[in-house]
Amino acid sequence: MKEFTAYILIGGNIGDRFANLLTAKELINKQCGTIIKESSVYQTAAWGLKEQPDFLNQVLILSTTLNPETLMRSLLSVEETMGRKRSIKFGPRIIDLDILLINDFLIESEFLTVPHPALQQRKFALIPLHEVAPDLLHPVEHKTINQLLTECKDELVVQKISTPAS
């Protein structure tokens, strides 16, 4: 079986945000693969729809044998299990799971786009990704995560609030 390395952004801003991140990680470990590294947890004001609670975000590096589409379906299943309701675009959510990158794959379908199309514009994703993989090369931009973070114009404050458990 082929193994893939996926970089997953997890986050949420409803309920016990820390507990929700822990629950998501447990479910991802059971259903999607093995978490081999995780970033610190960061707090950021909401992006897009601003009138809502701050988000906690974290990046996970996942070793998985699931192909990208199956992995995305499994992540959506985790969201559903945790009670995620998709009602308002950029709205409040108990959990949000996004694939940022998988190996050096380029995927563009109605169901999944990899790399995540907004990664290079969002510090709340770049900062935790930079913590765990600063030299990772973005397969479209052909720049490292370190370079993308340096060039990012996003002005949202991203504050580290805990270090990784591992």
**pLDDT at res. 55:** 95
Tokens for 43, please give them: 């707090």
Tokens for 161, please give them: 């609030």
pLDDT tens figures, 125-163: 999 999 999 999 999 999 999 999 999 999 999 999 987
Instruction: State which residues of the chain have pLDDT below 70.
Output: 87-90, 164-166
Enzyme catalytic residues: 84, 93, 96, 98
CATH number at residue 79: 3.30.70.560
**pLDDT at res. 2:** 92
| Separation of alpha carbons 99 and 71, rounded Å | 9
Domain membership of residue 126 as a residue range: 4-162
**pLDDT at res. 49:** 72
**pLDDT at res. 90:** 65
Count of domains forming the chain: 1
**pLDDT at res. 165:** 62
